[in-house]
Amino acid sequence: MDTERHDTVTLRAPARLHLGFLDPSASLGRRFGSVGLVIEGFETEVELGAAVVDRVTADTPEGDAQMERASAYLRTLREHSGRLDTLHLRLLRVLPAHGGFGSGTQLALTIARAFAQWHRLDVGTPTLAHWLGRGQRSGIGIHGFDLGGLIVDGGPAADGRPAPLLSRIALPEEWRILVVQDERKQGLAGNDEKGAMAALGAMPAARSAEICHEVLMRVLPGAASAEFGIFARGITHIQQLLGAYFAPVQNGRAYTSGAVGRLMDWIGASGHEAAIGQSSWGPTGFAIVESQARAEALERTVRAAGLVEPGLALRIVAPRNHGAQVIDRRAMRRVR
């Protein structure tokens, strides 16, 4: 960097899995509402420091592809804050784009929080997200950025401000998630996502009510009391209802990736106790299980059964019950 490395602010933010909308058709007048969880194992990491001239650089090919977007975020942050210091923004790690991990929101928030920390701005994460145009459907990535855990939000406000937090529960530390990525595909985003949502018919109010009932009386109590079976049945049923609803814009399938869908369907029919489904528009699927041992056994079983088709990547990760990490080396130096 143009400055010494101890004069930097580093932000590390986790990925999230979006487990489903509560009411995508606004049967009661408020659209969306979401349930999701934050996971270890996938992170966005940026570094910000002073520079003679503005620079945005990246350490990976995936980061290279996000440099233009990152530069635009910096411009917008300056417009809203009035802070015009020249900076070097370095993209150390980014999440897979359009993979169901919330890559766009996490990139925006890591840059925004690093910018706010650098300038010592007292601005909340929902406000930063609103400045950068994030959270127009889901608030899972915004509240998960701050808190980690299992999150339920109430859908964005009519003026476009991010969704309020309704519930946050720390998931049991021993639970694990088998993440299944189809590295050949991407989920919908941008105008394609808007077009898909517009093409869908209204979700019947009774189906939305059923999803909300599952969240309130299975998912949340199961997580809060570490009753895994109740939690798993709730998540899986929500995913079945949403998979049927979104199938018309996913090539008639509950899963964007046919390979992920075949693996998930096999898990669901195999007798393994797991919460299964697709995060957001995919192509990432997930199977949440009760322990590391069960996750490892499940991975061995699907591999032995020949279900890991070419292009699929499997990883076992833990739930994450804390949010982003800020490392301000300027403050650390003063303490020493």
Structure confidence at residue 98 (pLDDT): 93
Least confident piece of the model among 59-68, 122-131, 145-154, 185-194: 185-194
Both structure tokens of 289: 């299980």
107: phi > 0 → left, psi -120 to 50 → alpha, else beta; which?
A: alpha
User: Could you tell me whether strands 32-50 and 87-93 are parallel, antiparallel, or unpaired per DSSP bridges?
Assistant: antiparallel
Q: Are 290 and 264 in contact (CB under 8 A)?
A: no
Rounded to whole angstroms, the Cα distance separating 192 from 5 reads 40
Q: Is 60 exceeded by the pLDDT of residue 335?
A: no
Confidence of residue 5 (pLDDT cuts 50, 70, 90): low
Structure confidence at residue 201 (pLDDT): 87
Region 205-231: mean pLDDT is: 98
Structure confidence at residue 124 (pLDDT): 97
What pLDDT, in 10s, does the model give residues 181-203? 999 998 888 888 888 888 998 99
Structure confidence at residue 191 (pLDDT): 83
Share the mean pLDDT of the chain.
94
Residue with tokens 């489904």: 277
Structure confidence at residue 6 (pLDDT): 64
Structure confidence at residue 189 (pLDDT): 81
Helix axes 140-147, 103-119, angle to 10 degrees: 50
Confidence of residue 332 (pLDDT cuts 50, 70, 90): low
Confidence of residue 3 (pLDDT cuts 50, 70, 90): very low
